[in-house]
Structure 1
Amino acid sequence: MNGLEYILSLYQVQHIALAEKLGIKKQNINLWIKGKQNIPKKYLPVLEGLFGINRSYFTKELTDIDKLEIQKEKLKQDLKPIVERQKEEFRVDEESDYLVKVPVYDKEELNTIERAIEKAKLVERFKQVIDIIDENPYMDTYALIVELLEKAQHEAIFHKTI
């Protein structure tokens, strides 16, 4: 789904209302959403200001993770949460392993969406690992990991093994 289309839907903004705010015709908004015309660069900072969403999201096809990130930003705007504390979490990515400080909010909705984003990122990484090659020689290992996750995810021995 196109970023602009998703954001307008999430914020419940009609095409005509946005067109009026931008001082353009409704047809321009329709062309942007259908991908028949790019959003002119001069409108990106305006859209970013109107919705409080990074301008890069307006012009691309969104992934599930992008949609969750946008929902999180909207929740922050709506709920105006307070960061109660920071917790350190271990993260692993392509470049390095590191500890990051993750905010813990006073609004559980935001903590829930943060967990959903992290879960979606893990699932995406798992898919990428499995798809590295067609004839993956470690498929049985991945199957075992999934089985362990299903059956023993809360057992201390499993966590110590990992």
Structure 2
Amino acid sequence: MVGIEYILSLYNMQYITLADRLGIKKQNINMWIKGKQKIPKKYLPILEEMFGVKQEYFVKELNEIEKLELQKEKLKKDLNPVIECYEKQFLMDEVNGLVDVPIYDKEEINKMERTIEKAKVISKFKDAMDIVEDNPYIDTYKLMAELMEKAQHEPLVHKTLQSLAHYFNILPDNVSTGLDQDDFEEEILEVFENNNY
């Protein structure tokens, strides 16, 4: 779905209302949505100001994560949440991995943040599976899916995955959940070395 169409539906705005505000005909909006005509550059700053959404979102095909991000921004405008504190989290898209993630006083915003992170993880998982046509490690992915389904809250699974992430330099060394995790990693990495892995 093209951005302008999604944004209008998100804000419950009719095409005619937008056309009136921009001083143009409703048909122009229809042409933009159907992709028969590009949104003229002179209207992009006006749309950005009107909705509080970056210009590029109006003209592109939106993926599911971008739609969720737009929903979050609208929710923030509607609820005016206050940041209560920041929590350090590891985010894969970041350069150093660790970022300060805001925790809001409105649970709706925090829930939306978790939904967005979940969507990003699912997207990364799918991308990892699609790297090669006939993935030779499909059994590994099946096993990972079973573990996530049946033992996702098991500390041993989390510790092992974090250890593997450190072993393969996916997680930076400064990301740790404490001495207990560090001791566990030392032991499991010793097992790897003893077995010539």
Using the size of structure 1 for normalisation, the TM-score is 0.96
**CA shift digits 1:50-86 (9 cap, x unpaired):** 0011111100111110110000010011000000001
Distance 2:135 2:8 in 1: 41
**What corresponds to 1:76 in structure 2?**
76
Runs of 5+ unmatched residues, structure 2: 162-197
Give the TM-score taking structure 2 as reference length: 0.79
- 1:11-160 paired onto structure 2 within 5 Å: 11-93=11-93, 96-160=95-159
Question: Deviations 1:8-67 (Å, cap 9, x if unpaired)?
Answer: 111011111111111111110110011100001111110010001111110011111011
Letter in 2 for 1:69: E
SS at match of 2:111: helix
Aligned length: 161
- The CA distance in 1 between the partners of 2:21 and 2:95, in whole Å, is 44
Q: Secondary structure at the match of 2:91?
A: strand
Q: Which amino acid aligns with 1:124?
A: S
SS of corresponding position for 1:133 = coil
Which AA in structure 1 matches 2:151?
A: A
Rg comparison, structure with higher value: 2
Q: What displacement does 1:92 show?
A: 2.0
Q: 2:122, 2:73 → 1: CA distance?
A: 22
Q: Report the Cα distance in structure 2 between the residues aligned to 1:31 and 1:117, rounded to whole angstroms.
A: 31
What's 2:190 paired with? none
Q: Secondary structure at the match of 1:145?
A: helix
Amino acid at match of 1:76: K
Q: Which amino acid aligns with 1:42?
A: K
Q: Any unmatched runs of 5+ in structure 1?
A: none
Larger relative contact order (Cα-Cα within 8 Å, sequence gap ≥ 6)? 1
Partner of 2:193: none
SS of match in other structure, 1:47: helix
- Which structure has the highest strand share of the two? 1
State how far apart, in whole Å, the 1-side matches of 2:2 and 2:65 are: 14
